[in-house]
Chain A
């Protein structure tokens, strides 16, 4: 199964931000999408998930060959896509446990058995070193930055998506939290999941080694390569890439 993004053009009310993005992420692969602020990374993540604030004017989003370009976000989720948000919403009055149960059940015909759910939740919380008391709190209400990111990864672990997009999951994490989150992501790596890790910095890529790296600049993918591209970027910075692109265009 793969997520195929073909010639994707996306605009806000004001202007076009993505000018034809092509990207394929297959199960079993880990991709990194890197780019400076304003390059359109978060917009791409949100568009993959069907955020109604963004309009696709051209191009397609396919999952396993099925065209999801116009699908509602919940259909995409049930088809196997997942987005770990950069800024997850706060859901007052809904506990982490209830939220997770609802989300898990949304993708099933029969509701999950209480015991099975409890076992799965316990296992994943251990994996992410999350305290049991956490599940009684309202989702993201009063959570620290690190707790929010862990709650996102916990949801990912519970929902077991085919393709997961992680939007700046590393931002705002201290080194310990980053390690925990990375361990969690690594534990889920395998033939059953493909992931697209969106990041500004190479920091998380030291823990989660990508198979492929793509660089997004001004709404276009300008360079692609293996994990060595991230090292090159670390060394030279985005300005260097920008100059290189300008030189090639000239």
Chain B
């Protein structure tokens, strides 16, 4: 019998889901994110059997997980948890890595205080859907004072069209604990539609030191991703968060990081690369709730083909968060005449004695730099590739994870090469 706190939320969320229309997100200017093209009724949650080992996973999933030994791993394919692994030495120290379903059954006392603490099923139709329909899910719990050196991994996989995946990851990092959590969302290249509606919540207790990466590569199928990811950082704790968006048919994500208590600190560095007709709508919040909190946010993107990307980054400093210091910068680089980007930094500051600054640019590749590279014998296409890779390097290196860094570099390089015709066309026009 599942714990009642989960069931109560499920039924309330279901009512909410049924009462809400499919949303259309509109903002000033040209920007609209619409799900008109998605045939939601045709999608279904698919069930799968557990796998024996990583060799049973498709390449895109194996690449994301990497080869080396890991502290723990949860893999969800469609609606089912198909792998659940935890280093026994860590289990002995009280670390938990399992599906959220299992955690609700076996550790309700650990799940209940955090489950949906910072998420709400009232944030829209898909937040309600995820809260009502999630299956599998992931639960990561690192007890007070425990240090986990290797990454704990959560992977969501979609490899068949017609799939809907409702995902929910809950991560709890105890007081003075240290851990690195990687979540990957990947799909194979298929023809047809799919939906990933995700909820991610992470709580970093006092004095903890957490690293978090999100790696998203939805492949060439029509995968729609509508997700909310939220991180809360406690007193004197630090979280470094690096989301990587390497494509998806339509992505609408809200990524919020909350420095919730005195002295909490965050680094949020993200990148995206869109191609073809991909549509990416990102909204991030840097929310400061108490005094003496700090942070910085850097987002960089590049666009090829006829893709669209919008990044809006909000700094929100509420009353009481005096002596907080933060800044946000975002850059988007257009590599195609048909691509469109916007970068909108904004500020809501409701208290004095803080420093908050922000800046946003949308630009093209610097012709002076291309000329410089070419005078060294490097051909134009190659020069552009190197410059775009170099542009992303600042964010890639913030991963601090050699395997994932290499994967990002390789994928970025492949995407630039794949887009070389539109890049050449763009250059020729100038």
A residues neighboring B (CB under 8 Å): 49-52, 72-74, 76-78, 82-83, 85, 88-89, 91-94, 99, 102-103, 106-107, 138, 155, 159
Contacts and interface: CB of A to CB of B under 8 A. Distances in A.
A72 B374 contact: yes
B377 A93 contact: no
B403 to A, nearest CB: 19
Interface stretch (B24-32, B246-254, B256-264, B386-394): B386-394
A242 B414 CA distance: 57
B372 interface: yes
Interface stretch (B53-61, B307-315, B363-371): B363-371
Given A92-B390, A93-B392, A94-B390, A74 B369 contact: no
List the 10 closest A-B pairs by CB distance, nearest first.
A93-B390, A93-B393, A106-B377, A77-B377, A73-B374, A103-B376, A89-B372, A94-B390, A74-B374, A78-B377
A88 to B, nearest CB: 7
Nearest to A94: B390
A91 B390 contact: yes
Interface of B: 366-369, 371-380, 382-383, 386-387, 389-394
A103 B372 contact: no
A93 B371 contact: no
Nearest to B368: A89
B390 A77 contact: no
B393 A155 contact: no
A93 B376 contact: no
Contacts of A72: 374, 380
A52 B430 CA distance: 10
A82 B369 contact: no
A85 B376 contact: no
Nearest to A74: B374
Contact of A74 (B378, B386, B389, B390): B378
Given A51-B371, A85-B372, A102-B386, A92 B394 contact: yes
Contacts of B375: 49-50, 73-74, 76-77, 82-83, 85
6 contacts: A72-B380, A74-B383, A82-B375, A94-B390, A103-B376, A159-B377
A106 B371 CA distance: 15
Contacts of A52: 367, 371
B411 to A, nearest CB: 16
Nearest to A81: B375
B331 to A, nearest CB: 11
A89 B390 CA distance: 14
Contacts of B379: 74, 106
B377 A74 contact: yes
A155 B377 CA distance: 11
A72 B390 CA distance: 23
B409 to A, nearest CB: 10
Contacts of A106: 376-379, 382
A93 B394 contact: yes
From A52, A88, A89, A99, residue with most partner B Cβ within 10 Å: A89
Contacts of A92: 390-391, 393-394
B372 to A, nearest CB: 4
A107 B375 CA distance: 11
B412 to A, nearest CB: 11
A57 B338 CA distance: 33
A196 to B, nearest CB: 14
Contacts of A85: 372, 375
A91 B365 CA distance: 12
Given A51-B371, A52-B371, A88-B372, A103 B391 contact: no
A155 B373 CA distance: 12
A206 to B, nearest CB: 28
A50 to B, nearest CB: 8
Contacts of A49: 375
Contact of A91 (B373, B377, B394): B373
A105 B163 CA distance: 47
Nearest to A51: B371
A159 B378 CA distance: 12
A78 B378 CA distance: 9
Given A73-B371, A103-B376, A103-B377, 15 more contacts: A51-B371, A52-B367, A73-B374, A74-B380, A74-B383, A77-B374, A83-B375, A88-B372, A89-B371, A93-B389, A93-B390, A93-B392, A93-B394, A107-B377, A159-B376
A106 B366 CA distance: 21
Contacts of A83: 375
Contacts of B368: 89
Contacts of A88: 372
B400 to A, nearest CB: 16
Nearest to A83: B375
Nearest to B378: A106
A202 to B, nearest CB: 27
A93 to B, nearest CB: 3
A70 B368 CA distance: 18
A226 B170 CA distance: 78
Contact of B390 (A73, A76, A138, A159): A138
Contact of B378 (A50, A93, A102): A102
Contacts of B393: 92-94
B382 to A, nearest CB: 8
Nearest to A73: B374
A45 to B, nearest CB: 10
A106 B385 CA distance: 14
Of B383, B386, B390, most buried by chain A (CB within 10 Å of CB) is B390
A80 B126 CA distance: 61
B15 to A, nearest CB: 50
Contacts of A74: 374-380, 383
A155 B382 CA distance: 18
A93 B374 contact: no
A78 B371 CA distance: 14
A93 B391 contact: yes
A107 B392 CA distance: 26
A104 B387 CA distance: 17
A131 B6 CA distance: 61
